[in-house]
Structure 1
C-alpha cells in the first residue's frame, strides 16, 4: 500500500494542537494538506480519533466522499464534496479536543484513499469505519497531534 503525505500548518506531527482548534478555544478544524493520492481512488475518507479517551477511542471527525483530486482543506472548512458524519459529541463535523484534565491525549488524523464508497449508515463509530475500510483502502496517511488540559 502506498502512503499519502498528510500535514498541517497549524501543528507538526506529534506536536501540540493549538487551543484555537480545541473545544476550549474556537473549535474550528485545523487546516490540512495532502499529496500522494494514488490513481484509481474513488474518494477520500478523513477521520480524527483520540485513542487515549477514557471510554475507548473517541471519534472527533469523520468525512467521506472527499474528491480524490483535492489537495487539502482550509481551516474551519469542509473538505471538497465531503459528507460530514456525526462525531462522538453527537454533532456532525469537527469536534475539537476536550480531554479530561491530566496528561496529553493523541489526536490521530487519518486520510484514506478508497476504491469504492464506504457502506456506512446512521452514526458509525470508529470501529465501524475501520471495518468498512478493510479491503477498500488503496493508500493512507497519518498525522498525530497532542492536546492537554
Structure 2
C-alpha cells in the first residue's frame, strides 16, 4: 500500500490553501496530481476532511468511482454524478454532492486533509451515501492511500 503520491499546483503540502479554493472565494476543488498509481487500480476515491473542526475529521467532500488518471481536474462540477469524470459519484458530506472548501469561523486556522485512495474495483454505492458508508464499502479494496494537507484561516 505504498508508492502513491498526491500533490496540487495550487499549494504545497502543509501550506496555505488559496482563497479561490475556499468558501470565502470561488469554492472550487483544486487540481490533484497523482504519481505512483498501482497498475491494478480500477478507480480513485477522494475524501476531504476538516481536521481542525470541533467534530473530529469533519467531512467536507466524498467522491468515488473516479477513473484512474494522473491528473484530476480542478473545479469538479456539483451534482450526484460527474459526467466529465465518467460518472464518478459525489456523496453527502458538508458539501452535499459537491466539493465544499474551507470556511472556518472566527478567523480560526484549520487543517484540511485530502485523502486519496486507489482501489481494485468500482463501488456500487448510492449518491446518498456518507463518508462512513464509503469507508465501509471500500474496506478490503484499498490498494494505496496518500494524503495532502493544507491550512486556511
TM-score, structure 1 normalization = 0.86
Matched residue, 2:18: 18
Matched residue, 1:129: 134
Given that residues 49 and 126 in structure 1 are in contact (C-alpha distance below 8 angstroms), is that contact kept between their aligned partners in structure 2? Answer: no
Question: Of 85, 90, 104, which residue of structure 1 is paired with 2:91?
Answer: 85
Gap regions ≥5 residues in structure 1: none
Deviation string, structure 1 residues 45-95 (Cα, Å, up to 9, x no partner): 111111221233222121111111x11222213573222222224x31110
Give the total of aligned pairs. 146
Aligned positions of 1:28-107 closer than 5 A: 28-68=28-68, 70-77=69-76, 80-81=85-86, 82-89=88-95, 91-107=96-112
Q: In 2, distance between residues paired with 1:109 and 1:56?
A: 15
* Distance apart, 1:138 and its partner CA: 0.4
Q: In 2, distance between residues paired with 1:131 and 1:100?
A: 31
Given that residues 64 and 83 in structure 1 are in contact (C-alpha distance below 8 angstroms), is that contact kept between their aligned partners in structure 2? Answer: yes
Does 2:9 align with 1:9? Answer: yes
* Distance apart, 1:102 and its partner CA: 4.4
Gap regions ≥5 residues in structure 2: 78-83
Q: In 2, distance between residues paired with 1:86 and 1:132?
A: 15
TM-score, structure 2 normalization = 0.84
Q: In 2, distance between residues paired with 1:48 and 1:113?
A: 15
* Distance apart, 1:122 and its partner CA: 5.2
What is the alpha-carbon root mean square deviation over aligned residues?
A: 1.9
Q: In 1, distance between residues paired with 2:12 and 2:67?
A: 24
Q: In 1, distance between residues paired with 2:135 and 2:3?
A: 17
